[in-house]
Amino acid sequence: MAVEVVRGFVLRAVPVGDSDRILDILTRERGLITASARGARRTRSRMLAGTQEFALSDFTLFSNRSRLIVNEVELVESFIGLQSDLTKLVCAAHLSELFLDCLRHEPEQPLLYPFWAYTVNALINGQIEPLLVTHVCGFRLMQIMGYEPLLESCSVCGSSEEPLWFSYSECGVVCRRHLTGASTGSAVKLNDGLLPLLRYVMSAPIERLYSFTVPESTAKVYMELSRRFVQDRMEKAYTRLDLLDVSMRLPEAKNSKT
């Protein structure tokens, strides 16, 4: 029975039975792996903390009939800053879903382990707000997975004459001559600051990806652009972030009744 020790982030922990968990773990050496942690949900289990979602842990694993079983867990970092803040927790849950979808296509993609590590730290301690971190991460993730948008010049004719628009259908910028769909929302005009931000997100080293400042108006347009682009490329509607819209409206609803 071969035994191995791997360090990884718990991207998902699914309860099974009365006390077990099935874990999706992002590791540096093996990419995405799935392992069973028996009894991990018991109150006195030594594996309880180290198998919670978003934890970074060292896992001692053995294989049983081609299935990985967690034998021991040593917690490295719990990232309690995610658990204690609703916005950060929802953003992390959204990103874990997005990462898992990407990893199912490329389970051994080597860039995703360090990318997740930098992103989680930026969610907790970064200089930009968690929602902006989330949409910066999603946009850059599309590049890593092979969906890089064309941002240097018009993706149809190569012209760099401004103004330019970002076209979802063309997966990049287009000039006025090749603009279609602006009235239907399938293209976004790139006002001052937006195109440089898009280019920065695509080109900045991962360790400096979240080190910038932009006006709130630019950030708002960028986040909507990134959200739409990711959903179009992944062909999936991601809804976890909608929880934040609901939570923001709750105080207003309460105040309107008083």
List pLDDT tens digits, range 203-227. Answer: 999 999 999 999 999 999 999 999 9
* 3-class SS of residue 61: strand
pLDDT reported for residue 247: 59
Mean pLDDT of the residues in the chain? 92
Tens digits of per-residue pLDDT, 157-176? Answer: 999 888 899 999 999 999 98
Q: 62 in helix, strand or coil?
A: strand
Q: Which fold has domain 3-78?
A: OB fold (Dihydrolipoamide Acetyltransferase, E2P) (2.40.50)
d(CA 48, CA 13): 11
Window from 86-100, 171-185, 191-205 with minimum mean pLDDT: 171-185
Quick check: 1 pLDDT over 60?
Answer: no
Tell me which architecture the domain covering 81-252 has in CATH. Up-down Bundle (1.20)
Other Cβ atoms less than 10 A from the Cβ of 135: the count is 23
| Mean of pLDDT values over 62-76 | 93
First-to-final CA distance of the chain:
65
pLDDT surpasses 80 at 246: no
Amino acid found at 118? Y
Distance CA 170, CA 158 (A): 13
Q: What does the block give as tokens for 64?
A: 């049983």
Per-residue confidence (pLDDT) for residue 182, from 0 to 100:
52
Residues of the chain above pLDDT 70, percent: 93
C-alpha distances out from residue 108 to 25, 119, 192, 233, Å: 12, 19, 38, 20
33 vs 108: CA distance, rounded Å? 9
pLDDT of residue 254: 46
At residue 65, the pLDDT reads: 83
pLDDT score, position 126: 84
Confidence of residue 183 (pLDDT cuts 50, 70, 90): low
Please, how many CA atoms are within 13 Å of residue 61, restricted to the half-sphere of its CB?
Answer: 24
Domain ranges in the chain are 3-78, 81-252
Which band of pLDDT confidence, cut at 50, 70 and 90, is reported for residue 245? Answer: confident
Residue with tokens 């050496």: 29
Give the chain's length. Answer: 258
Q: In one letter, which amino acid is 99?
A: F
